[in-house]
Amino acid sequence: MLFVGGREVWRRCEERGAQPDTDVVEIDLPRGGTLILLKIGDVGGSNWGFYLRITDVQGGPAPGVRWVEP
């Protein structure tokens, strides 16, 4: 599940390995700070991982977006 600003914007429940760009979710980020929460489950106890990229519509760098650790 993916939450942006407290609102669920994407959900997919299935077992699979982590591969970049398997799912693409188009959202509009408001100006200012926006909390992004990604919930990932591990059902098999095996190696797991995830990829998260924030890009512009063409897949390039998103202008004005920066990552801030809480």
Q: Domain coordinates of the chain in residue numbers?
A: 1-70
Torsion of CA 23, 26, 30, 32, to 10 degrees: 30
Q: What is the pLDDT of residues 8-48, one digit of tens each?
A: 999 988 877 788 888 899 998 888 889 999 998 877 766 77
> What is the residue type of 20?
P
Looking at per-residue pLDDT, the higher value among 5 and 42 belongs to: 5
Left, alpha or beta for 46 (phi > 0: left; psi -120 to 50: alpha)?
beta
Looking at per-residue pLDDT, the higher value among 45 and 62 belongs to: 62
- Whether the full predicted model's pTM is greater than 0.75, yes or no, is yes
Say how far apart CA 5 and CA 26 lie, in whole Å: 14
| pLDDT for res 45 | 66
Contact 57/28 with Cβ under 8 angstroms? no
